[in-house]
Amino acid sequence: MTYPARRVRRPFPWHVVVFLAPAVLIYTVVMIYPILSSLWLSLRNQAVGGPEHFVGLANYHKLLGTELYAQPLWNAVRNNVVFFVIHMLAQNPVGLLLAVLLSFRLRGAAVYRTLLFTPTVLSVVIIGFAWKLILNPAWGVQRGLLEPLHLQALDQPWLGLPGTALPTLGLISVWQNIGIPMLLFLAALVRIPEELYEAARLDGAGGWRIFRSIQLPLILPTVGIVSVLTFVGNFNAFDLIYSVQGALAGPNFASDILGTLFYRTFFGYQLQAGDEYMGAAVAGVMLLIILSGLLLYLVTVQRRLTEVEL
């Protein structure tokens, strides 16, 4: 008579817990707790001189249903979408182009990488102040740079016109942050085996054919990651707009985004009194937009990329 072998129970991997615990603890304190605390604050309110009490979704109803808050909110959402589209159409394609050029082992490639990445590590306050000096129509240096090129028609107050302020700030942000997608794309490109390039050249493929048939398909996961980082970063943007245009995000709120709207609503600005409960509601809307975008990416793009890899 044979007896079934006893199943050996593996000990619990406590060493994994020990290694993960510091990171999980720090992430919880720095990220998870503030997010949950902000969401809880958005569900509460306080009457004048009264105690704080739970109001459910009343703050969100007020945010979306009253003209005082709804009009600035939708204006900020619209501007945020435009800000994001500028980065997707300018920053990421140009970053990919630069990465492809640098992957061809150019002479001085390390110097080019350093120069292109330098704006990314500079303080956003310095960048904002420098571009305000450059683009100032009264005593900025743009006029002196454009006149020798006979481009006086481009000497405009780009940051002072409602139609051009936001695109100008978007292009400044592209210039500042283009080093991040460039390095991510470059890291993906250098992992492609050299044998694939050699086989393609033997078949008579040129540079465009190599990029379209070899490089781009193999770096599609990185393209998705860069797109997600661009989306999250743009809908969390605040510092560049604030340093250049101030909390009012002028002119006439033409460059107002969710970050500056949250700042004015939560802390108050000039004659506008701060309301921490409504500010938390604005933060809740920002979180909802970001989570919705990430979910859409996971359901559509990431699933297709996984199917292609399989």
pLDDT one-digit tens code per residue, 90-138: 999 999 999 998 887 778 888 888 899 999 999 998 999 999 888 888 7
Q: pTM higher than 0.75 for the full model?
A: yes
Q: Which residues of the chain have pLDDT under 50?
A: none
Q: What does the pLDDT read at residue 103?
A: 85
- What is the pLDDT at residue 5? 58
Contact 176, 124 (CB under 8 A): yes
Kindly state the helix (H) or strand (E) to which residue 192 belongs, with its residue range.
none
10 Å CB burial of residue 22 (0-12, 13-18, 19+) is: exposed
In this prediction, residue 4 carries a pLDDT of 60
Q: Residue 291: its pLDDT value, please?
A: 94
- CA–CA distance, 42 with 52 (Å, rounded to integer): 12
Q: Residue 49: helix, strand or coil by DSSP?
A: coil
Spatial separation of the C-alpha atoms in residues 206 and 218, rounded to whole Å: 17
The pLDDT of residue 3: 57
- Residues 255, 101: Cα–Cα separation, whole Å: 34
Cβ atoms of residues 258 and 286 within 8 Å: yes
Q: Give residue 130's Cα distance to chain centre.
A: 22
What is the predicted pLDDT for the residue at 308?
A: 55
Query: In this structure, are residues 76 and 256 in contact, taking their beta carbons and an 8 Å threshold?
Result: yes
Question: Looking at residue 270, what is its pLDDT?
Answer: 77
